[in-house]
Amino acid sequence: MPVPITALYAGILTVIAVVLGVRVGRQRLKNEISLLHGDSPELLEEIRRHANFTEAVPMALILLALIELNGASATLLHGLGIALVVARIAHPIGLHHDNMRHPLRGVGSMGTMLVTVIAAGVGVWQFLGA
């Protein structure tokens, strides 16, 4: 069964993941560091921006696909997808080694969690209503 709405957001989020990965690669070349981060806070930031993305986004996308397969409305799916994209753009902008309280970090982190929790709740609701 097709999941075109989830596919749209998976595509957009993949572009963001690639950009974050390229930024890691550039910092590795600049600092001539193959593994880990050496003493480079800039490389560490880029690694964590990319890693945080890859830790959080797959579960959210899996949940979006599952609730789409189970008949969630297009409005709900687009709302969650847009919120996830905004959150995943905000988070790396706000993630800095020397500023834990940057507002965009909070927007990204909380936005991602909120999308994931809502999608999980909808999935449970769909099961209970089935």
pLDDT tens-digit profile of 21-77? 999 999 999 988 888 888 899 999 999 999 999 999 999 999 999 999 999 999 999
Reference 48, options 13, 56, 103; nearest CA is 56
Q: Which residue type occupies 117?
A: V
Please, are residues 112 and 129 in contact by the beta-carbon 8 Å criterion? no
Please, are residues 77 and 85 in contact by the beta-carbon 8 Å criterion? no
Model pTM greater than 0.75?
yes
Does domain 4-129 match CATH 2.40.110.10? no
Please, are residues 90 and 113 in contact by the beta-carbon 8 Å criterion? no
